[in-house]
Structure 1
Amino acid sequence: MASKLLGRLSAIVATCVALPLAFAGVANAHGYTTNVPSRAYLCKTGAVSNCGPIQWEPQSVEGPKGFPGGGPANGRICAGGLGQFAQLDDPRGGSWPAKKVTSGGNLTFSWTLTAAHATTSFRYFITRNGWNPSAPLTRAQLDPAPFYTVNFNGARPGSTVTHTGRLPAKSGRHLILAVWDIADTGNAFYQCGDVTF
């Protein structure tokens, strides 16, 4: 009887030790884009209202990695598949504030990381010509490959990350999807930013 009780106690202790370690990789990495200003960042700063809890957690748009083959479901990409951040998937009739950018020009992308993490890459996708800005984002609305990728090969970035890449030739309103791929968890961070060429 005593050995059974000791065995159960050991199992409980092992579980209590293992659970925080299992979730440590997910909980300690967070970030959002400030340029292009993401929808999450615009909610944080109050530039956009009626955002729900994302206004306090712009760094928490974390979902499964592997985009575009995996990751959040279509129509839920901007929220990383998280229901509590569904306001980010609402196109608001195409009225999200949009940063003015130059077709084919260079743009500096900036991330604020509230907790850094070993990183595979930062990747940037953009909507196709003729996409519908009044509909939630789907893979079919994006060019299939990222227009810009910055590889980190498992390195841990600092609290601010900037890199400059060339935008594709586009015109009118578009959406840029920034994906921060984490190296040592099954997740990535997703940020949607609206632009006008």
Structure 2
Amino acid sequence: MKKTMLKAVLTLGLLAGGLSVSATVTHAHGYVSSPGSRAYFGSTQGGKINKDVGRAEWEPQSIEATKNTFIPGKLASAGVSGFDPLDVQTADRWHKSDINTGPLALTWTLTARHRTSTWDYYMTKQGWNPNQPLDIKNFDLIGRVDDQAAIPEASVKHTITVPSDRKGYHVIYAVWNVYDTTNAFYQAIDVNVK
């Protein structure tokens, strides 16, 4: 009888644990895969080019916080626990994708789709200090796509315009604003503008 009860308790425990793991997996959302974000380049999907990225190594899609969460020094993590290694900012800390001024194609890879308000794109101002923590006051809004509550496809492509006065190392800050919740998803993209 004791062995039967123990087996039942262990089986229920394993089932509950398995359900909780799959529930966690279904809460994934989206990341910028091209040009790759800090989180993406730290993940298996991005080849783990960036090192020591915290939770982004396993879940680059989960940098989700309240809309307009522009915490000085915590833009890349949006203040989300476990993603704070993404906030380390130096001129040579992160892999950079080479881009040009003018039209830039970006791709979001979504692991869960949500009705969308807007996709906002910010870029560091010319003359910003790459050795200081990221602060939204050092960014300009350079693009916005209004999705008018549409449900996006699993792969979302946008074209924004990189200002002609940008040269060298910059950060593009991509924000996916969900329509029917108070949340958004945040991605920092390190680029070298030729």
Which TM-score band applies after superposition, normalised by the shorter structure? 0.7 to 0.9
Query: Separation in 1 of the partners of 2:100 and 2:70?
Result: 29
The C-alpha deviation readout for 1:67-122, integer Å capped at 9, x for no partner, is 3xxx141111110111310011111443311111112x211110000000000011
Structure 1 segments of 4 or more deviating over 2 A? 92-95
- Residue 147 of structure 2 is aligned to residue 152 of structure 1: yes
Q: Which runs of 5+ in 2 are unaligned?
A: 1-22
Higher mean alpha-carbon deviation, 186-195 vs 75-84, is at 75-84
TM-score under structure 2 length normalisation: 0.80
Query: Separation in 2 of the partners of 1:49 and 1:32?
Result: 17
TM-score under structure 1 length normalisation: 0.79
| 1:36 alignment counterpart | 35
Question: Does structure 2 conserve the Cα–Cα contact (< 8 Å) formed by 1:179 and 1:189?
Answer: yes
Question: Does structure 2 conserve the Cα–Cα contact (< 8 Å) formed by 1:28 and 1:117?
Answer: no
Query: Separation in 2 of the partners of 1:37 and 1:124?
Result: 14
| 1:175 alignment counterpart | 171
The verdict on how the C-alpha distance between 1:109 and 1:122 changes in structure 2, with shifts beyond 3 A counting, is same
- Residue 168 of structure 2 is aligned to residue 166 of structure 1: no
| 1:47 alignment counterpart | 49
| 2:78 alignment counterpart | 80
Letter in 2 for 1:52: G
Query: Separation in 2 of the partners of 1:75 and 1:135?
Result: 8
Cα RMSD after superposing both structures: 1.6
| 2:88 alignment counterpart | 90
In the TM superposition, 1:4-43 aligns within 5 A as 28=27, 30-43=29-42
Question: Does structure 1 conserve the Cα–Cα contact (< 8 Å) formed by 2:91 and 2:169?
Answer: no
Question: How much does 1:53 deviate?
Answer: 1.8
Query: Separation in 1 of the partners of 2:86 and 2:151?
Result: 27
Letter in 2 for 1:123: D
Query: Separation in 2 of the partners of 1:125 and 1:95?
Result: 20
Sequence identity percentage: 38
More strand by share: 2
| 2:10 alignment counterpart | none
- Residue 59 of structure 2 is aligned to residue 57 of structure 1: yes
Q: Which runs of 5+ in 1 are unaligned?
A: 1-23
State the secondary structure of the residue aligned to 1:53: helix
Which of 107, 116, 120 is matched with 1:119 structurally?
A: 116
- Residue 137 of structure 2 is aligned to residue 135 of structure 1: no
Question: How much does 1:55 deviate?
Answer: 0.4
State the secondary structure of the residue aligned to 2:107: strand
Question: Does structure 2 conserve the Cα–Cα contact (< 8 Å) formed by 1:30 and 1:114?
Answer: yes
Query: Separation in 2 of the partners of 1:53 and 1:101?
Result: 27
Question: Does structure 2 conserve the Cα–Cα contact (< 8 Å) formed by 1:28 and 1:116?
Answer: no
Letter in 1 for 2:138: Q
Question: How much does 1:163 deviate?
Answer: 1.6
